[in-house]
Amino acid sequence: MTLSSDITIRTLNAVEAEARLGELADILVDAVVHGASVNFMAGFAHDEGRAFWARQLPSIAEGMTHLHVGEAEGRLIGTALLMYAHQPNAPHRADVGKMLVHSSARRRGLGRRLLSAVEAAAAAAGRTLLLLDTESGSAGDRLYRSCGWIEVGRVPDHAFRPDGRLAETTMFYKRVGAAAG
């Protein structure tokens, strides 16, 4: 894919996300094929990717999850979920997940831009503490560190990589908005 320098970052509502389940699945399958430890194993199929994203639609429609995407030349090439905590004692907190950039669009700053958009959206919504986890030593690990995320700790053998090997996971947090100052 020839990628123009014009990449748009935006939020998809549930109706838009449903209409683009195939593209969202493409990004997720591509991540698994390229070895990303994002909860799925080798052999992960496109229909399973569609089903994963379809399960996110109710929460997106309710406003408890925001789906940020990167788009170039009319095609989705990256995703990031911002998931607000449901617990009554955590109205200040959110999780970040499925930070994915299609392999054809990597190393162009899209991951950094998606992460920045998620952080800004969380701050605008009054969420001041963000949490995420990633495979230790991965590209995501390096990205989060370079963007000021703070390591909480590591869990050995936390999850299987797509190839079946156990991998260590690093937990991170970041304060945003009023709490960042």
Neighbours of 1 (CB within 10 A): 11
First to last CA, the chain: 41
In a domain? residue 95: yes
- The number of distinct structural domains making up the chain is 1
47 lies in which domain range? Answer: 7-180
Instruction: Show Cβ contacts of residue 61 under 8 Å, excluding neighbours closer than 6 positions.
Output: 13, 14
Identify any residues that bridge with 82 across adjacent strands, giving them in sequence order: 66, 96
pLDDT digits (tens, 9 = 90+) for 5-33: 689 999 999 999 999 999 999 999 999 99
CATH number at residue 78: 3.40.630.30
User: What pLDDT shows up at residue 5?
Assistant: 63
Strands 75-84 and 65-72: antiparallel
> What is the pLDDT confidence band of residue 4, given thresholds at 50, 70 and 90?
very low
The secondary element (H helix, E strand) that includes residue 100 is strand 93-101
> What is the pLDDT confidence band of residue 2, given thresholds at 50, 70 and 90?
very low
> What is the pLDDT confidence band of residue 144, given thresholds at 50, 70 and 90?
very high
User: What pLDDT shows up at residue 171?
Assistant: 98
In a domain? residue 50: yes
The tokens for 89 are 């004692």
pLDDT surpasses 50 at 1: no
In a domain? residue 82: yes
172: closest CA among 125, 119, 106, 105?
119
pLDDT surpasses 90 at 179: no
The mean of the pLDDT values for the chain is 95
Average pLDDT over residues 47-72: 98
In a domain? residue 1: no
User: What pLDDT shows up at residue 71?
Assistant: 97
Measured distance CA(147)–CA(35) in Å, rounded: 23
